[in-house]
Amino acid sequence: MPGLSLGAGAHIGAKVTPQVWGRVKLSHFMELGEDEFRQAIGQLEESPLFKRLISPDNLEDKIICRQRFPDTDLTHHCRELIEGRIAADAPFDWAALFQERQGAVQEAKKIGLENFKRFFLYAGESLSPGEIARALKITPEAVKTLRALADDFCLLDLSHPTVISSRSAAAIPDAMIASVEKKGWKFRIGYFAGHYARGHYVIDYKRLYQAKLQNRFSKGELRDIQRLITKIELINTRQTILYQILKILIETQTDYFRGSPAGRAAGPRSTGGARGGEESLKPLTQQDLARRLGVNRSTVNRAIRHKSLETPWEEQKTLRFFLINRKRFVKNILSRMKDSNGGHADEALAGIFGKNYGIKLARRTICAYRHELMTKDERRRTKDEGRKIESSIVLAKRSSIVHR
């Protein structure tokens, strides 16, 4: 179905099953750029019906809430922005971003970053506006303005998109989704966008069912609610898949993220195997991610396309950078061994890879990889040495014939 769009649903709806159509819609949603995705969330949350379900006057009518993903937060850049500690030459200007909400900005500074995140940005607690006002000792009107400020903040683009790939002149900017930040001995995901930091939506289906039984919604509203839930599920799926991918990347490539900037600055061949160099990246492919997440490889491909991470040393890397196949991994290790003057024979290297990395390699495979790693001068010297050995063998044979 090339060029299929969601708008074609009415035309093909009778020709495909709901399951297939659901996959088509998910594929389309995964293809959205970050700007389009952010707009979709904005349209959802601006809906009067959504506001009624997530922020009702009576908490008994609350059908939707948000739940953050474990070990996630706003990136430290955004936290500094909220606290007003951004340097004068930084690319963000808090006052310029919220010229129309200066009063709310001042209120946010008064209650502090943690309270702003807890009660407004993440809104994880099921408290009414009045209860929030009493807890923070502010007016109900201030609660309303702070909620609007949090909603505005979550739809900002703070990812400094840059073009990393130079394959074509029309390269699409890679959106920096999150930063990898150290928290003690662990790492956490620091999202650049508030809608990611807020996590996913949780729907209380039991409460919704009870509301239906009590006829609190008209038939038209129930149809609208079903469409709303379908959109929420698509948003949740996209955000959850991306979170799981980031989590697996960080867990798998921990040695890389624990490395020192000095070692990396010297280049991949000068790290000598120190953590943080490209040699410290472990084998991980899109197919591995798909298998662990229980999704198609194409879904993973769409999820990581045109997205990047900020490393702990504030360097931008595409998500694809952290995915390496077995060949690239083996060549990285061979390069490291070569730089450390580890003159191992091919058979010995096969044993090392089997014992230390659980990778079975034939001697011929290792020989081919080592040849690929050689410079032109090294290949020329190897070829010359091979010719000398062949000449020596020929001379030895001739000498033995003469002596006979």
Cα-flanking dihedrals φ and ψ of residue 302, to 5°? -70, -35
CA distance 122 to 146: 12
Q: Is residue 300 part of a domain?
A: no
Pair (59, 204) in one structural domain:
yes
**21 and 134: one domain?**
yes
What SS3 class is residue 284? strand
Which of 183, 211, 235 terminates a domain? The answer is 235
In a domain, 350, yes or no: yes
The phi and psi torsions of 352 (rounded to 5 degrees) equal -65, -45
Residues 102 and 208 in one domain: yes
Q: Label residues 165-188 b or e (16+ Cβ within 10 Å = b).
A: eeeeeeeebbbbbbbbbeeeeebb
What residue type is 200 in one-letter code?
A: H
- Total domains in the chain come to 2
Q: Map residue 210 onto helix, strand or coil.
A: helix
What's the pTM value of the predicted model, to 2 decimals? 0.73
Counting beta carbons within 10 angstroms of the beta carbon of residue 391, is it exposed (0 to 12), middle (13 to 18) or buried (19 or more)?
exposed
| Structural domain containing residue 209 | 15-157+199-235
- In angstroms, rounded to a whole number, what is the distance separating the alpha carbons of residues 383 and 227? 69
Same domain, 330 and 224: no
My answer on whether 329 and 229 are in the same domain is: no
Q: From residue 58, how far is each of 15, 38, 41, 86 by CA, in Å?
A: 43, 29, 24, 39
Which of 52, 35, 19 has the alpha carbon at shortest distance from 211? 52
> Do residues 347 and 215 both lie within one domain?
no
Q: What is the pLDDT along the chain (404 residues), one digit of tens a residue?
A: 444 333 434 443 445 555 666 777 888 889 988 889 988 998 998 899 998 898 887 777 889 988 999 999 888 877 666 666 544 444 445 555 556 667 777 788 888 878 888 888 776 556 777 888 888 889 888 888 888 888 777 766 666 555 454 444 345 567 889 999 998 888 999 998 888 988 999 999 999 999 999 998 899 999 999 999 999 999 999 999 999 999 999 999 998 998 755 444 444 433 333 445 777 888 899 999 999 999 999 999 999 999 999 999 888 899 999 998 887 777 777 777 765 545 677 777 777 777 766 677 777 777 787 777 765 445 555 554 545 555 566 566 556 665 55
In a domain, 286, yes or no: no
- Show which of 209, 235, 261 is a domain's final residue: 235
Same domain, 359 and 231: no
Is 258 a domain residue?
no
Give domain status of residue 250, yes or no: no
- Indicate whether 289 belongs to any domain: no
- Count of residues for the chain? 404
| Claim to verify: residue 337 and residue 231 sit in the same structural domain | no
Alpha carbon distance 224, 48 (integer Å):
11
Alpha carbons within 13 A on the beta-carbon side of 215: 0
> Do 63 and 209 fall within a single domain?
yes
Question: Is residue 330 located within the same domain as residue 209?
Answer: no
Query: Is residue 370, in this structure, part of any structural domain at all?
Result: yes
Q: Verify that 148 and 22 share a domain, yes or no.
A: yes
The answer on 340 and 209 residing in a single domain is: no
- The encoded tokens of residue 137 equal 């000792």
Tokens of 127: 């408290």
Report residue 145 as tokens. 């303005």
Contacts of 324 (CB under 8 A, 6+ apart): 281, 282, 283, 284, 285, 332
Rounded CA gap, 326 and 160, in Å?
Answer: 32
Whether 203 and 229 have beta carbons less than 8 Å apart is answered as yes
Q: Is the dihedral of CA 103, 107, 113, 115 positive or negative?
A: negative
Q: Evaluate whether residue 175 is within a structural domain.
A: no
